[in-house]
């Protein structure tokens, strides 16, 4: 038999020594009190075979594994094996409190992802609602073209009326302030409405009829030829027991007898219209201007009357005397207001011969 090289011999000896040490420790130094003869026989055969054939096969070495597993104490009940159900791969949105298995509540070891809370959009400021527009009243139907009088505004109507009969607009306003003061405060829209013939048949409410002075002063009643006939705009001027009704109407309160007998036709001629009525604003102002000129016989400047003729117009309109209601004094103050003048209104009644029907002294 040939002799092995020295290095090979040394390596082989080391390997064989390890096998023998493992063999002896496994069967004679084991902590287990039992002796396994079958295991000893099998390990011995494996060791002899390995040495003779140089086919090295490591025997079963249980040193580490057996030492790691402690022998259970006597009379100790074994821990029951728990079979777990297959954990679903889908992660639930919220963890269950426990998973019951064979009567034992087991808290699962997998972690839960909390449901993602969507980020709230920034709160947009609430827009302030726009105020609801008030509904516009139904416009009063327009009058036929031939019914509409000249004038584009309240002031323009007074100016045209004064020019038609050479009377200052301030003088007309002085009388209207006493007889029909509401006609000085019309809006331009209202003034145009009242400045068209037959408006009393286009009015929508009784207050529109009353606002245009389309009622008789003494009774306060709307006449029969108007809408809302017989309704009362105000209490009568005189007690109803007197039975007197002059039929005066309009912004300047022209008596019905004066109007029907003389001034209705004169107004139609001045304005070149087919119909005229005291309830139409321009018709009433022009008619009153004609009366004033006829009563005073004035023939001077149209825009700036001599003061005494202003007072004479007041005296004549009061029935030929300044005494009733201190009428001349009132008209004098009104005229100063609208003309911008500063005439002395005290004792204006002394301008006339007493009982002479407004004759100057």
Find out whether 345 and 336 touch, Cβ atoms under 8 Å. Answer: yes
DSSP character at residue 259 = I
Of 242 and 324, the one with more pLDDT: 324
Confidence of residue 279 (pLDDT cuts 50, 70, 90): very high
Of 268 and 98, the one with more pLDDT: 268
Predicted pLDDT of residue 59: 46
Predicted pLDDT of residue 8: 66
Predicted pLDDT of residue 273: 96
Among 240, 239, 285, CA closest to 263: 285
Residue 134 reports pLDDT greater than 90: no
Among 151, 143, 142, 141, CA closest to 271: 151
Tokens of 69: 């597993």
pTM: 0.62
Predicted pLDDT of residue 324: 86
Predicted pLDDT of residue 130: 64
The pair phi, psi for residue 164, each rounded to 5°, is -65, -25
Residue 360 reports pLDDT greater than 50: yes
State the first-to-last Cα distance of the chain, in angstroms, to the nearest integer.
187
CA–CA dist 359, 350 (Å, integer): 11
CA–CA dist 251, 288 (Å, integer): 10
- Distances in whole angstroms, Cα of residue 114 to Cα of each of 74, 118, 119, 274, 349: 48, 12, 14, 93, 104
Write the Ramachandran bin of 105: left for phi over 0, alpha for psi from -120 to 50, otherwise beta: beta
Task: Look at the block and give the residue holding tokens 């728990």.
Answer: 82
Least-confidence region, from 10-14, 210-214, 356-360 = 10-14
* CA angle 290–291–296, rounded 5-degree value: 105
Percent of the chain with pLDDT over 70: 62
Predicted pLDDT of residue 67: 42
Helix (H, G, I), strand (E, B) or coil at 48: helix
Average pLDDT over residues 205-221: 95
Quickly count: other Cβ atoms within 10 Å of residue 132's Cβ. Answer: 6
The chain-wide mean pLDDT, for the chain, equals: 79
């Amino acid at each position: 038999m040939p002799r092995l090289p020295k290095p090979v011999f040394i390596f082989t000896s080391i390997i064989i020594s390890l096998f023998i040490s493992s063999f002896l420790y496994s069967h004679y130094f084991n902590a287990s009190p039992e002796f396994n003869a079958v295991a000893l026989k099998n390990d011995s055969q494996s060791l002899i075979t390995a040495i003779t054939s140089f086919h090295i096969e490591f025997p079963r070495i249980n040193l580490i594994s057996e030492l790691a597993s402690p022998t259970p104490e006597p009379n100790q009940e074994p821990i029951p094996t728990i079979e777990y159900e297959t954990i679903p791969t889908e992660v639930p949105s919220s963890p269950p409190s426990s998973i019951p298995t064979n009567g034992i509540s087991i808290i699962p070891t997998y972690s839960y992802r909390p449901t993602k809370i969507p980020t709230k959009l920034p709160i947009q400021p609430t827009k302030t609602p726009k105020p609801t527009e008030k509904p516009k009243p139904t416009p009063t139907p327009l009058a036929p073209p031939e019914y509409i009088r000249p004038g584009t505004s309240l002031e323009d109507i007074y100016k045209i009326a004064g020019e038609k009969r050479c009377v200052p607009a301030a003088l007309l306003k002085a009388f209207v302030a006493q007889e029909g003061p509401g006609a000085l405060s019309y809006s331009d829209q209202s003034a145009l409405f009242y400045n068209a013939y037959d408006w009393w048949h286009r009015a929508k409410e009784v207050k529109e009829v009353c606002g245009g002075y389309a009622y008789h002063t003494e009774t306060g009643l709307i006449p029969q030829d108007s809408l809302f006939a017989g309704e009362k705009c105000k209490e009568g001027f005189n007690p109803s027991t007197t039975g007197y009704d002059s039929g005066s109407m309009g912004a300047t309160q022209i008596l019905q007898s004066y109007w029907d007998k003389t001034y209705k036709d004169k107004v139609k001629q001045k304005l070149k219209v087919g119909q005229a009525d005291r309830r139409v604003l321009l018709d009433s102002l022009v008619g009153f201007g004609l009366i004033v000129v006829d009563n005073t016989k004035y023939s001077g400047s149209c825009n700036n009357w001599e003061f005494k003729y202003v007072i004479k117009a007041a005296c004549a309109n009061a029935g030929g005397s300044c005494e009733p209601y201190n009428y001349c004094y009132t008209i004098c103050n009104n005229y100063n207001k609208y003309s911008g003048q500063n005439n002395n209104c005290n004792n204006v009644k002394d301008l006339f011969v007493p009982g002479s029907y407004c004759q100057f002294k």
